[in-house]
Amino acid sequence: MLTITPSAANAIRAILETAKVPDEGGIRISVAQENGSQARLELSLSEAPLAGDAVVEEEGASVFLDELATAALDDKSLDASIEGDEISFGIVEKDEEPPASGA
């Protein structure tokens, strides 16, 4: 399942607060078809998840994923960088967990 980095959680909370989205709201990531063959991710504000959406919640931030986005982003993390008033989101590989020690 997609994870949310702390910087992305901060960015999501800031966006939702500025946009006055209800507490149960979040951002929604969906897959949109372009020209019948290529797909791209779309990000939008949502007051609640839609039917069939997967919900990822971390650090008070919610992300709703449609079925195609859930599959495409299963092994990824949502990250963000904030520079002044600009927020940029990106999809990054999940950090590998360190191996368990003492086994």
Domain ranges of the chain: 3-93
Model pTM score: 0.85
Q: Which CATH architecture has domain 3-93?
A: Sandwich (2.60)
**Long-range contact set of residues 43-50: C-beta below 8 Å, sequence gap at least 24:** 43/89, 45/15, 45/16, 45/19, 45/21, 46/21, 47/21, 47/22, 48/22, 48/24
- Residue 36's pLDDT is what? 66
The band of 33, judged by pLDDT with boundaries at 50, 70 and 90, is: confident
pLDDT digits (tens, 9 = 90+) for 44-94: 999 999 999 999 999 999 999 999 999 999 999 999 998 888 999 999 998
Say yes or no to pLDDT of 30 above 90. Answer: yes
Tokens of 92: 């990054």
